[in-house]
Amino acid sequence: MSASLSTRRALAAVLAAGALIGAAALPAAADGHGRDHGRDHRAHSSIAIGDVQNEAAGRDRSARALNREWVEVKNTGRQAVNLRGYTLTDKQGNRYRFPDFRLDGRSSVKVHTGQGRDTRHDLYQDRRQQVWDERDTATLRDNRGNVVDTESWGRRGHHRNG
């Protein structure tokens, strides 16, 4: 059974129109202007912010209290990543730049606010004042300045972007 000539022509026109629409949409999608409108584009990475421990504002400003305040950075991948040049910032613009530090695969490091000796599991910002407020946002950027992950907390609890 064969289709009529007009049916075949109509089908060919529909297929050609679909091909043209697809060809026009491809450059827009490749340029990041496809369906992702409004989506936050972050660098794909195995590095992310884990837990956050912020201290209540005010009371205890001792070195011990500052070291109880930390942000965990974790590597969820199998390969080690050198964090040299990565930065961790808060809403007020306080910034910690990671030294030449290799974070092994499937491991984490806590970045403490206070002073101490850096180890495989603990890094210290060597600050004398609190960084992380009761309502704040930690932003982790790679060595090129791309946002890798953010973590917010406060009145509405924790909120992860990343």
Q: Render pLDDT for 7-42 as a digit per residue (tens, 0 to 9).
A: 667 656 655 555 545 544 444 444 444 333 333 445
pLDDT of residue 19: 53
d(C-alpha 110, C-alpha 113), whole Å: 10
CA 128 to chain centre: 27
* Token pair listed for 5: 């000539």
Digit-coded pLDDT (tens) for 46-96: 999 999 998 755 556 677 889 999 999 999 999 999 999 999 999 999 999
Digit-coded pLDDT (tens) for 114-139: 999 999 999 999 999 999 998 999 99
Question: Max alpha carbon distance in the chain (Å)?
Answer: 89
d(C-alpha 86, C-alpha 141), whole Å: 6
